[in-house]
Amino acid sequence: MQAPEQSATARKDCINALDLLWLEITPKCNLNCVHCYADSSPYKPLSSGLSIDDWLALINEASVLNCRMIQFIGGEPTIHPDLPKLISAARAAGIPSIEVYTNGTCFTSALQECFLENNVQLAFSVYADDPAIHDLVTRTDGSQQKTLAAIEWAMKNSMTVRAGVIDAGINKSHTEAAVQLLKSKGLKNVGIDRSRN
């Protein structure tokens, strides 16, 4: 049997270890990307089984465990109607860093206001410098234009913004150019990643 002092130390180490919590609040996405690791699409249900009360309880538990950062993901988290409530709850619970990983194509004025009021950080997926190639990956016409507009809006409002240029195979020859495009717009935190299936 472990000594009580060791158990307390182990518990403290465990509590201090929760740096980041991903909350995948929906499997649904408005895009239908060819490479999606989560198999998200417009055809998925909005809810994956957890209620708003379940998500709020998870946020409160994360706060108790000294969670340093919550990242809302999906699917596309911005299409979930409870995202503003969850963001506000995370801020009220004292979570120091709140990030939304998004394609940026579904921003409403109410959602933008929530982001600004709660000092939300934004992370975006981008696929190519060429709109046609980007939209080929997302299988959604006009998606690159909307994503870039959302990035520009966030930067204009002095938000903390980063972007991942994802190599989905069919866009491989456009990833470096996409990084340069984003940097030319003033975005400094840009990296290239590969899709994981």
Amino acid at 125: S
Q: What is the pLDDT of residue 11?
A: 44
Map tokens 């990296």 to a residue. 191
Rounded Cα gap, residues 49 and 182, in angstroms: 37
Tell me the pLDDT of the chain averaged across its residues.
90
164: DSSP letter: E
Q: Taking the complete model, does pTM exceed 0.85, yes or no?
A: yes
Q: What is the pLDDT of residue 86?
A: 98
Q: What is the pLDDT of residue 25?
A: 96
Map tokens 């518990």 to a residue. 11
Rounded Cα gap, residues 7 and 152, in angstroms: 49
Rounded Cα gap, residues 123 and 101, in angstroms: 5
Q: How far is CA 54 from CA 49, 154, 196, in A?
A: 9, 30, 28
CB contact at 8 A, 103 and 125: yes
Task: Supply 79's token pair.
Answer: 């299409």
Percentage of the chain exceeding pLDDT 90: 79
Over residues 127-154, the pLDDT tens digits come to 999 999 999 999 999 999 999 999 999 9
Between 21-35, 66-80, 139-153, the lowest mean confidence (pLDDT) is in 21-35
CB contact at 8 A, 98 and 120: yes
